């Protein structure tokens, strides 16, 4: 359901995309009710900037064409409006809460519609002054490079984002069909040279951006999440090579970069657990039956 929702969203009018998501969510709620469960929270994982005091607002999501969107304005049922949260944040939190030996300070970078990243510092999500920390996808890796959806040039996303990798691998026509990530893994596994070159190039660009992050915040780990986790076998060598070359403070162990244990399930799990943990921390939030 999640992947269907993800594709449904990309590049469509916001009202239409949210109506389809609302229908999917209503189906999930009906299934939960049939199991005797009560829904106590609704979270919309968005590949975009969600302010700290969101009030239901998504500031911008360039890959969806969203700018200053109030979710409630477009959600068909006022009783089930979800609270938006950045999907990279949710993925990182899920990794921290569920990985057996989670790092305390790490950067979690994932690729879905674009590239999302989140910083967990000393076990806390670092949101930034306004909530927009972790926009790694728009760090320039080639200052005069390709124009990005954000308006700037040469952003990481244009070299290591899903669309860029598919284009480079000669698989752009598959972007909106089936599961493009599984297709990339299948082609890479079969030794398809253009796919291997595309993933190597993406890994180099990722390594370049992540090396700056390592020098900036000195994390004890880096996690490749979302779709990257499924492509880790082909990305890790070039990301590690770039890190080995560029991280200033040594030693930097290659194993400090690892694939996420949750992959594309991360944001969904993070959304559910955020709600559960909020209620556990303050049970008075739970209305009496
Ligand atoms: Zn950009």
Render 191-208 in DSSP notation, one character per residue.
T-HHHHHHHHHHHHHHHH
**pLDDT value for 63:** 82
Domain CATH for 237: 3.30.420.40
Most confident of the following: 7-21, 101-115, 151-165, 248-262: 151-165
Q: How confident is the model at residue 5 (pLDDT cuts 50, 70, 90)?
A: very low
34 and 142 in a common domain: no
**pLDDT value for 1:** 39
280 and 249 in a common domain: no
Whether pLDDT at 250 is above 50: yes
- The pLDDT > 70 percentage for the chain reads 96
> How far does the centroid of ligand 1 lie from the alpha carbon of residue 146, in Å?
9
135 and 60 in a common domain: no
Residues 105-134 have a mean pLDDT of 93
**Residues 6 or more apart from 115 whose CB is under 8 A from it?**
109, 136, 137, 156, 157, 160, 161
Whether pLDDT at 111 is above 80: yes
245 and 147 in a common domain: yes
177 and 82 in a common domain: no
188 and 74 in a common domain: no
> How far does the centroid of ligand 1 lie from the alpha carbon of residue 191, in Å?
31
**Residues 6 or more apart from 28 whose CB is under 8 A from it?**
1
Residue 229 lies in a domain: yes
Give the integer Cα–Cα distance in Å for 254 and 241: 8
175 and 60 in a common domain: no
216 and 119 in a common domain: yes
Task: Give the range of the structural domain holding residue 117, as residue numbers without chain letter.
Answer: 103-263
83-86 and 66-70: which strand pairing? unpaired
Neighbours of ion ligand 1 (CB under 5 A): 138, 148, 150, 152, 155
> How far does the centroid of ligand 1 lie from the alpha carbon of residue 124, in Å?
26
Residue 275 lies in a domain: yes
Q: Which residues pair with 85 in a beta bridge?
A: 45
Whether pLDDT at 62 is above 80: yes
Whether pLDDT at 10 is above 80: no
> How far does the centroid of ligand 1 lie from the alpha carbon of residue 104, in Å?
28
Residues 187-210 have a mean pLDDT of 97
187 and 48 in a common domain: no
pTM of the model: 0.90
């Amino acid at each position: 359901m999640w992947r269907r929702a993800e594709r449904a969203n990309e590049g469509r009018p916001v009202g239409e995309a949210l109506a389809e998501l609302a229908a999917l969510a209503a189906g999930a709620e009906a299934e939960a009710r049939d199991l005797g469960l009560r829904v106590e929270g609704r979270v919309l994982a968005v590949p975009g900037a969600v302010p700290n005091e969101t009030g239901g607002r998504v500031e911008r999501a360039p890959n969806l064409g969203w700018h200053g969107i109030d979710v409630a304005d477009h959600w068909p049922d006022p009783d089930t409006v979800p609270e938006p949260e950045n999907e990279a944040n949710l993925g990182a939190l899920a990794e921290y809460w569920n990985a057996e030996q989670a790092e305390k300070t790490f950067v979690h970078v994932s690729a879905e519609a674009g590239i999302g990243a989140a910083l967990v510092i000393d076990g806390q999500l670092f949101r930034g002054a306004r909530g927009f920390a972790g926009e790694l996808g728009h760090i320039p890796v080639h200052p005069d490079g390709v124009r990005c959806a954000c308006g700037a040039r040469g952003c990481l996303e244009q070299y290591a984002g899903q669309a860029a990798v598919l284009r480079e691998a000669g698989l752009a026509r598959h972007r909106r069909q089936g599961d493009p990530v599984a297709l990339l893994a299948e082609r890479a596994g079969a030794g398809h040279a253009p796919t291997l070159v595309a993933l190597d190039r993406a890994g180099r660009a990722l390594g370049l951006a992540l090396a700056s992050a390592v020098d900036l915040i000195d994390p004890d780990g880096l996690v490749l999440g979302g779709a990257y986790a499924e492509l880790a076998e082909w990305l890790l060598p070039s990301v590690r090579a770039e890190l080995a070359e560029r991280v200033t403070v040594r030693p930097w162990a290659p194993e400090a970069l690892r694939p996420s244990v949750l992959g594309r399930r991360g944001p969904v799990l993070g959304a559910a657990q955020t709600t559960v943990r909020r209620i556990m921390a303050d049970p008075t939030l739970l209305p009496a039956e």
